[in-house]
Amino acid sequence: VSCDFHFNFNDDDGAEAPQLHCACRVIRDIATSPGWRRCRMDKPMSYVVPSYEASQTALAAQRYGSDEHCAGAGVARPSSSRRSFLASQAASVLAAAAVVSYVRPSLAASGGDDIIDVYFGCGCFWHVQHEFVEAERSILGRSDDDLTSRSGYAGGKAGSVGGKVCYHNAQNIADYGKLGHAEVVSMRIPASKFEDFAVEYCKLFDKDGFRPDQFGDRGTEYRNLVGIPGGRSSPLAESLVKASVATGDKLDFAVGKGDDRDLPKVAFIMDTAEFPVYVAEQYHQFHDGFKLDENYPNSYNSLASKFAQKGEDFGKCPNGMMGIGIGGL
């Protein structure tokens, strides 16, 4: 991030106080040349700041929308989500969910096209998994038995604890948030089709670049991530930027370093070799969406049990906040 700034003086109360006026620019294309784009600002930023460090804090607040500086900005906030509703019913009880390596269907590449493992994160993984299941069906023509989209966790520096990465739980076992991970959906797809899947990912964001649950589920566990082999050095990074441009140029991209912040309109590009994915437990797979009215057919919801019956391992983490194994409870 770079700033062009100058100082004015505010003499409303007779005192001279420096004010910073900032024009923020964000690296747009990390895969090629460092292009620049002016930040999306609803109004010019003007904060009284005592130092350059404070100016950076103010800049981040304006660019990324902290509650302190953006309260009353007129952004509509959705009422409630399925997850927040269920969490409220559990009061102060913490949640649990399991994640470990798992078995994927055996897929043959056609025409010498490499099959690659990738993942996408965009808030709560329930809705995101459904959208990528539909993408596998429409783009690749896959049947239920061949679907590879799985809810999981990735992006944390700590990796796993004894092979486990779990949802928040009362036993505090391998908590994915404390390990620095975010919710993602992983899949195995032909490399030649990555850009098509990247387009589907970018479509998840609204016209302003906000994810569907931007003002519901917030925090590092819900940050935007894209995991690809090779990270920013991969040609797939350029395909990701092209997909964003093709769908309205709503996102900025940054190199993921692990344990990254939750920044609206920014997606972190992760190297899957350095930041692998850990599969979420069974009850988080093929779940209804996060909105209270976002219910999917039983033919979709039952896929998790079908894969488990075939031997897929969804881990040994605690089974939800209360041991129910439904909606995080």
Q: Interhelix angle for 235-246 vs 194-203, to 10°?
A: 40
Alpha helix segments (H runs only) across the chain? 52-64, 67-70, 82-89, 125-140, 194-203, 235-246, 298-301, 303-309
Per-residue confidence (pLDDT) for residue 28, from 0 to 100 = 41
Phi and psi at residue 139, to the nearest 5°: -85, -40
pLDDT at 206: 94
Tell me the torsion sign for CA atoms 121, 223, 170, 278: positive
Q: Write the burial class of residue 153 (CB in 10 Å: 0-12 exposed, 13-18 middle, 19+ buried).
A: buried
Question: pLDDT > 90: what percent of the chain?
Answer: 56
Tell me the per-residue pLDDT of 172-225, one tens digit each, with 9 for 90 and over.
Answer: 899 999 999 999 999 999 999 999 999 999 999 999 999 887 666 889 999 999
Q: Give yes or no for residue 108 having a pLDDT over 50.
A: yes
Confidence check: pLDDT of 165 > 60: yes
Q: Six-digit token pair at 73? A: 């900005």
What is the rounded average pLDDT of the residues 147-171? 95
pLDDT at 8: 37
Decide if pLDDT at 142 tops 90: yes
pLDDT digits 0-9 by tens, 287-306: 999 888 889 999 999 999 99
| Between residues 73 and 229, the one the model is more confident about | 229
Mean pLDDT of the residues in the chain: 75
> For residue 5, what pLDDT band results from cuts at 50, 70 and 90?
very low
* Residue, of 319 and 69, whose pLDDT is higher: 319
* pLDDT(114) > 90: yes
Residue 271 has pLDDT above 60, yes or no: yes
pLDDT at 40 over 60: no
Burial class (CB in 10 A: 0-12, 13-18, 19+), 5: middle
Give strand pairing partners of 115.
190
Confidence at 109, pLDDT banded by 50, 70, 90: low
pLDDT(233) > 50 = yes
CB 103: neighbour CB atoms within 10 A? 11
Structure token pair of residue 109: 């590449």
The whole-number pLDDT of residue 111 equals 54
Distance separating the N- and C-terminal Cα atoms of the chain: 40
pLDDT reading at 48 higher than 80: no
- Selection from 181, 207, 198, 164 nearest residue 125 by Cα: 181
Confidence of residue 27 (pLDDT cuts 50, 70, 90): very low
The residue among 195, 189, 212 whose CA lies nearest residue 122 is 212
20-34, 81-95, 193-207 — most confident range: 193-207
Does pTM surpass 0.75?
A: no
> What is the per-residue pLDDT across 236-248, written as a single tens digit (0 to 9) for each?
999 999 999 999 9
Specify the pLDDT at position 290.
82
Alpha carbons 58 and 64: distance in angstroms, whole number: 10
**Torsion sign, CA atoms 149, 151, 156, 161:** negative
| pLDDT at 312 exceeding the cut of 60 | yes
Residue type, 276: P
**What share of the chain has pLDDT > 70, as a percent?**
62
Q: What span, in angstroms and rounded, lies between the C-alpha atoms of 204 and 133?
A: 14
* CA separation, residue 242 to residues 59, 124, 126, 245, 252 (Å): 27, 25, 26, 5, 12
Q: How many residues does the chain have?
A: 329
